[in-house]
A and B are shown apart, each in its own frame.
Chain A
């Protein structure tokens, strides 16, 4: 009965052409069981928001005959999720979305895991980082803020997600670049970090755009600069006539720090090429939907897409970069 309703919606819906594609390519591999989509982070954060949006898109446009089950495995800074995928060698019904903890968790904790234990599928997007302050605070520019932080003499509090992960790496880089000292206060998830900023319990955060956008639009927080080499191109007005593209780069504001984070998909090691190809195609279809475009716009994502060897090479480079960053910050686990 339910199937029928869904099938009707499918036939009439805008995704008809997309939905028929898997039938045309019936010889290729397709999931025969529900696909488990693992998030190595808590609920409400950037990775969680993206994964759940994807779940919605895949279900709504019927991109897969089997269903997609989203599971948060955030234990041990995401180590729980990564080890689970590592130990599911050869299982083509499991995929995982990553954040920088793909690199930082094994480095900081010494748990036996490396991205090479997984099969890279595709890069979905790169996530930006923005320096946010509470809108009630007087500083309007990065310069004013850094001056205030220096004057505060090490009492300014920077909120961030987790410990020895991307947010703390950026904080560390800001300290190096400016000489200002911050107290880094780790929270469990990006959503909680943003709320702490709104409640004035920390002085600034380096939240991903998607994590703070709701508070920005409500006029509670203010973006000072974006940690990228050029401003993003989204020009839709968000609040007070300001759009994402009006957020200047940190470099242009005298804060020479750049950081982008991978939002990519991996599978367990030892899976068939056909299975990987299926998921690459699946995510290409996901990226073609209007819902995905909305998410990208809302969260000011950098929409680079990569798959196959390009992607693997990119990940390898990124791992090197993180190793250097982590070493420089003194975050590596004691051997």
Chain B
């Protein structure tokens, strides 16, 4: 119960008027960072840093953590409106979020996305509050083999569910793996597939591929089909938030499942990206409307957003307790700690109680503040789609170009983005699914790295992947997910054959 006392003390600290003001500044900056690809958390820290030295470390970290919340919320905006995910974990949000916007339901999609983010994050914060020490120990159980099994599960629960021909899905995913392999091999420290080009050294960044394939590709598809965004007919409806809220409770099972997946992925340091894909894949299988996923189903927005944000939040715990940030944005917070001479680690919770509980309290309140800020803006965001295509298209092109350029400050990446754009258009018209390609680019090198680290440790023996209960269970779950379709068919047959009477128990 000491924790709760500390937490309430933390609330008292955060709720000072000055800290509330600081919170809103952080949120608004964060949303801006999330919306514009090309602005990263590092930039936010750079401009806020001088300001933060005029306040207490607690106020300062509240401000920085609110940048984090703002950026998390902001990532969904461009995914829904323009099919451009600014962060890896927003990719799955585009699958149903953007079709919803095209159907004129941008307001609903955004409301669902923001609310789900909030619920996911809130669930994770509650978990952090209640079981922080246990959770940190759980994170320690993940060595290379366990980490690989998590990536394996993410891939398995996502493939095998696309409507496209399997050979096209495989080709698309493997191209993603091949692109992810370009650059420096982490395990041997050797350059590969660069063919002597300096600009290939950094490999293919996810952001460039996604801006091209999704963002530019979408513009090309739109212009081919006639010059307008289909979202143009959406009216501005200030009540859309409440109307959507009324629909949300019926998806409570999806939300709860996604929260659990997210927390788990956040703690095992796999992170928010596999969480969002996994949650989307499982929701698609579990839902009655599974076959409508991808055409603008609200559940397809809820699942990835909830999981991504539960994971993003839960990942802060290993960062505080172990000093390993799970994402570039979490690294911003880590940087904040170091700047104030606070060393993350197991003792942070003992030696810097006021600070840690202030931070956790700010997670609760920052989240609420963030939700209020973004929800009030929903009608405004939705109205962006009313801007005529001939104005918004070049704007999107410019934003994409800036985003691609800033990844490595190189014009080569902008060229690459355009190439990916044309490729995205052609592949989509040829019925190749793009999501597996993107998933493989994001997770490919990490999956390969952990796979090889495991094999190194086991001296080449594959038994390391079922050497203990944890890794064995995750691998088994992965296999079940992979062959889910076949299992379902088999199960139905078996049941019909065994006893026709039991069919009432569906």
Please judge, given known A-B contacts A44-B324, A188-B186, whether A201 and B144 are in contact too, CB under 8 Å: yes
Closest A residue, CB atoms, query B335: A52
> Which of B143, B201, B340 has a CB less than 8 Å from the CB of A80?
B201
Which one, A25-33, A137-145, A159-167, A266-274, is touching chain B?
A: A159-167
Residues of A within 8 A of B142 (CB): 199
Residues of A within 8 A of B198 (CB): 83, 111-112
Residues of B within 8 A of A76 (CB): 183-184, 191, 201-202
The reply to whether A2 and B343 contact each other, CB–CB distance below 8 Å, is no
Please judge, given known A-B contacts A76-B202, A80-B201, whether A111 and B191 are in contact too, CB under 8 Å: yes
The reply to whether A9 and B334 contact each other, CB–CB distance below 8 Å, is no
The reply to whether A75 and B46 contact each other, CB–CB distance below 8 Å, is no
CB under 8 Å from chain A, chain B span 307-351? 322-325, 328, 331, 334-335, 338-341, 343-348
Residues of B within 8 A of A112 (CB): 198
Residues of A within 8 A of B340 (CB): 56
The reply to whether A71 and B42 contact each other, CB–CB distance below 8 Å, is yes
Residues of B within 8 A of A44 (CB): 323-325, 331, 334
Which one, B48-56, B282-290, B387-395, is touching chain A?
A: B48-56
> Which of B49, B190, B341 has a CB less than 8 Å from the CB of A294?
B341
Query: A75 vs B409: C-alpha distance in the bound complex, in angstroms?
Result: 13
Residues of A within 8 A of B47 (CB): 67
A233 within 8 A of B: no
A206 within 8 A of B: no
The reply to whether B183 and A67 contact each other, CB–CB distance below 8 Å, is no
The reply to whether B338 and A49 contact each other, CB–CB distance below 8 Å, is yes
> Which of B189, B323, B345 has a CB less than 8 Å from the CB of A217?
B345
Query: A112 vs B144: C-alpha distance in the bound complex, in angstroms?
Result: 32
B459 within 8 A of A: yes
The reply to whether A9 and B338 contact each other, CB–CB distance below 8 Å, is no
A183 within 8 A of B: yes
Query: A79 vs B184: C-alpha distance in the bound complex, in angstroms?
Result: 9
The reply to whether B140 and A9 contact each other, CB–CB distance below 8 Å, is no
Cβ distance A218 to chain B, nearest Cβ, rounded Å: 4
The reply to whether B345 and A55 contact each other, CB–CB distance below 8 Å, is no
Query: A239 vs B277: C-alpha distance in the bound complex, in angstroms?
Result: 43
The reply to whether B345 and A109 contact each other, CB–CB distance below 8 Å, is no
The reply to whether B49 and A83 contact each other, CB–CB distance below 8 Å, is no
> Which of A6, A34, A298 has a CB less than 8 Å from the CB of B54?
A6
Please judge, given known A-B contacts A56-B340, A83-B198, whether A70 and B42 are in contact too, CB under 8 Å: yes
Residues of A within 8 A of B42 (CB): 69-72
The reply to whether B49 and A43 contact each other, CB–CB distance below 8 Å, is no
The reply to whether B339 and A195 contact each other, CB–CB distance below 8 Å, is no
Please judge, given known A-B contacts A43-B331, A217-B347, A291-B341, whether A198 and B186 are in contact too, CB under 8 Å: no
B141 within 8 A of A: yes
Query: A75 vs B49: C-alpha distance in the bound complex, in angstroms?
Result: 26
Residues of B within 8 A of A198 (CB): 140, 322
Cβ distance A182 to chain B, nearest Cβ, rounded Å: 11
Q: B180-193 vs A: 1/0 string, CB under 8 Å?
A: 00011111111100
Q: A131-174 vs B: 1/0 string, CB under 8 Å?
A: 00000000000000000000000010100001111000000000
A265 within 8 A of B: no
Query: A291 vs B53: C-alpha distance in the bound complex, in angstroms?
Result: 14
Query: A294 vs B343: C-alpha distance in the bound complex, in angstroms?
Result: 11
The reply to whether B53 and A59 contact each other, CB–CB distance below 8 Å, is yes
The reply to whether A195 and B324 contact each other, CB–CB distance below 8 Å, is yes
Q: B29-70 vs A: 1/0 string, CB under 8 Å?
A: 000000000000011011101110110000000000000000
Query: A187 vs B340: C-alpha distance in the bound complex, in angstroms?
Result: 27
Q: A53-87 vs B: 1/0 string, CB under 8 Å?
A: 10110011000000111111101110110011000
Q: A172-190 vs B: 1/0 string, CB under 8 Å?
A: 0000000000011111110
Please judge, given known A-B contacts A67-B49, A75-B201, A183-B459, whether A109 and B338 are in contact too, CB under 8 Å: no
Cβ distance A166 to chain B, nearest Cβ, rounded Å: 12
> Which of B50, B143, B191, B343 has a CB less than 8 Å from the CB of A67?
B50
Please judge, given known A-B contacts A53-B339, A75-B202, A186-B186, whether A191 and B49 are in contact too, CB under 8 Å: no
The reply to whether B53 and A70 contact each other, CB–CB distance below 8 Å, is no
Closest B residue, CB atoms, query A154: B459
Query: A37 vs B42: C-alpha distance in the bound complex, in angstroms?
Result: 11
Residues of A within 8 A of B191 (CB): 76, 109-111, 333
Please judge, given known A-B contacts A217-B347, A220-B346, whether A109 and B190 are in contact too, CB under 8 Å: yes
Q: A93-124 vs B: 1/0 string, CB under 8 Å?
A: 00000000000000011111000000000000
The reply to whether B53 and A164 contact each other, CB–CB distance below 8 Å, is no
Q: A35-56 vs B: 1/0 string, CB under 8 Å?
A: 0000000011000110011011
B456 within 8 A of A: yes
Please judge, given known A-B contacts A44-B325, A44-B331, A214-B347, whether A84 and B409 are in contact too, CB under 8 Å: yes
B222 within 8 A of A: no
The reply to whether A111 and B201 contact each other, CB–CB distance below 8 Å, is yes
Q: Determine the interface band of chain B, counting residues with CB < 8 A from chain A.
A: 35 or more
CB under 8 Å from chain A, chain B span 394-416? 408-409
Residues of B within 8 A of A52 (CB): 335, 338-339
Cβ distance B146 to chain A, nearest Cβ, rounded Å: 9
CB under 8 Å from chain B, chain A span 190-224? 191-192, 194-196, 198-201, 213-215, 217-218, 220
Cβ distance B375 to chain A, nearest Cβ, rounded Å: 28
A5 within 8 A of B: yes
Cβ distance B92 to chain A, nearest Cβ, rounded Å: 24
Query: A167 vs B184: C-alpha distance in the bound complex, in angstroms?
Result: 18
Cβ distance A189 to chain B, nearest Cβ, rounded Å: 8
The reply to whether B184 and A164 contact each other, CB–CB distance below 8 Å, is no
The reply to whether A218 and B347 contact each other, CB–CB distance below 8 Å, is yes
Residues of A within 8 A of B338 (CB): 48-49, 52-53, 56
Closest A residue, CB atoms, query B450: A187
Closest B residue, CB atoms, query A201: B143
Residues of B within 8 A of A109 (CB): 184, 189-191
B453 within 8 A of A: yes
Residues of B within 8 A of A69 (CB): 42-43, 46
B232 within 8 A of A: no
- Max chain A CB contacts within 10 Å: which of B141, B345, B347? B345
Closest A residue, CB atoms, query B185: A163
B203 within 8 A of A: yes
> Which of B54, B335, B345 has a CB less than 8 Å from the CB of A215?
B345
The reply to whether A195 and B202 contact each other, CB–CB distance below 8 Å, is no
Cβ distance B144 to chain A, nearest Cβ, rounded Å: 7
Cβ distance B397 to chain A, nearest Cβ, rounded Å: 26
> Which of B187, B335, B348, B459 has a CB less than 8 Å from the CB of A186?
B187
- Top 6 nearest A-B pairs (CB, nearest first) are A214-B345, A163-B189, A201-B143, A56-B339, A218-B346, A199-B140
| Interface contacts beyond A80-B408, A162-B186, A217-B345: sample of 5 additional A-B pairs, CB < 8 Å, sorted by A | A72-B42, A194-B323, A217-B347, A291-B341, A294-B341
A-B contact pairs, 17 of them (CB 8 A): A5-B51, A59-B49, A77-B189, A83-B198, A84-B408, A157-B457, A164-B189, A186-B189, A187-B453, A189-B324, A195-B323, A213-B345, A214-B344, A214-B345, A214-B347, A217-B345, A218-B345
What is the interface of chain B, defined by CB distance below 8 A to chain A?
Answer: 42-43, 45-47, 49-51, 53-54, 139-144, 183-191, 198, 201-203, 322-325, 328, 331, 334-335, 338-341, 343-348, 408-409, 449, 453, 456-457, 459
